[in-house]
Every structure is written in C-alpha cells, then in structure tokens.
Amino acid sequence: MAQLAIPGAPRKVSLTQLPGAVRRLAVVAAVGLLLVACLWGAGFEARAWLSGEREFLARAIDVKGTVAEVSLPPPNERDHATATMRVLFTLDGDSHTASGVPMDARVAEGLGRGASVELLVDPTRPERAREKQWASDRQTSVLVANLGLGLGVLLTLALLAREGRRALRRELDPLRVGAIVWLTPSVDTTGATGEFTFPASYFRDDVKHEVTARAVAGSWVRNGEKVLAALVPSEPTWVLVIDEALARRLGWYR
C-alpha cells in the first residue's frame, strides 16, 4: 500500500502539475494584455492626431482675421468648453472664409462681429483655419495626454508582471515552500463541487489557527476528519487543500 511521504521544503513542483493553474494564469495574462492593447490603441490614435498637428503647425502661418459670427454654448456650460466662429481673412491677396473655427468659450463670449482674432492658417487648406491660442493649448493638452497614455501602458505592463508573479507564487509557493498541516474543516464540505473555499483550523505548537481553505472538490488526502493542506506563505490565513491525485502527481506517495 502506498505511503504518504512528503519531501521537505523546498519541494520540486511545476505549474503543469497543478490542475487549472495554467488556465487561471492565462486568464490573468489575457485580461492584462487586453487592457494594454486598449491603452496602446488609444495612444496610437493620439500619436496619429499629434503627427497631423505637427504637420499643420509646420505649414501654418500667422494671419489676422475678422469675426463674422460666434456660436457659443449655453452660459452655464461655457467653462472649459469650446465655441466656434466664422472668420474672414486675406491670404496672398485672396479673401477667405473659415467656418467652425474653435476657440475657448469664455474668451469667445467677449467677441462680437468685426472683432480681430489671430489665426493659424495652412496655405494649402485655408478653410481649416484655427484660432492661434486654442491650437497652442490643444497641442499642449494632447502632448500631456500622449505622455500619460505611454506611462499608462508602462504602468499596466509593470502591474501585469507583478500580478502574474503573485499569481504564480500563489499557485506554486504553498506546495513548494509552504508548511504542510492537517486541517480540520469548520463546516460540512459534503456535496461541494468544483473549486470552493471554506473556514477551517489547524494546530501548531498547541496554538489553534483559523484559516480559509481553498480546495477543489474531490478525494482529498485525509487522516480521519482532517485533510492535508499547505499554507500560503505570503498569506498566513489561507491554505490550499491537497487531493490524492495532486499528491500522486507531485510524487508524495511511495
């Protein structure tokens, strides 16, 4: 008859020996990579917009314009909002009109028809003129946002690596270096299915320790009413219940 013979720590344990461990880690990695992809996509859009802005600024020239019409948001919505103008200007001796020229709403509310404004105009597309201060502020905002997205991607990658390492340690460390204890369930676990948790306790040096046990329903390694479990080193109030199939995969039966 096979006898239980648990080797001393550290024990040789591989991730593929643990049922469901690879799948759980794959889920963690997939969620993290999806978040990184979303942030990277947003950053790509921002960089594309910024590249277009740089091209515009490289070609744009300063032009004096005259306000023909101002469209403002409602008075109680003008803080940090954008107004639009229709402006008239002359470029290389030709008269032009640009509609939908954006401008800070609080600044625009002080302008009336005939007011003078400073514009940036791309000679190849004069109808897309922009109010100079608005264009400058917008570029600064996008630069900051782009840097923020880049830092967000790096931070997410760092968090993903940390969480992956923590998940890996949570799967392996209880069996590899955790103390092995005989655990007494505090509730009836009969009829449990799948992976579940339950309160339990164990004694060490005549001191009773209350813990939460993580287990997969099955044929656990038993000693009467007690079940074999491994402490999670980084979380002393958690233990992992060990079933017979796992113990045999780990070579703990001789």
At 243, which CATH number?
2.40.50
Q: What is the pLDDT along the chain (254 residues), one digit of tens a residue?
A: 567 778 777 888 776 677 666 666 677 777 777 877 776 676 666 666 666 677 777 788 899 999 999 988 888 888 888 888 999 999 888 899 999 888 888 888 888 888 999 898 988 888 888 888 887 777 776 666 667 767 777 777 777 777 667 767 777 778 888 888 999 999 988 878 888 889 999 998 889 999 999 888 878 888 888 999 988 888 888 888 888 888 888 888 77
Indicate whether 185 and 153 sit together in one domain.
Answer: no
Q: Do the strands 94-104 and 116-121 form a parallel or antiparallel pair, or are they unpaired?
A: unpaired
Indicate whether 112 and 224 sit together in one domain.
Answer: no
For residue 218, being part of any structural domain is answered with yes
Domain that holds residue 117: 12-164
Domain final residue pick, 116, 132, 164: 164
For residue 4, being part of any structural domain is answered with no
CB 202 within 8 A of CB 240: no
For residue 2, being part of any structural domain is answered with no
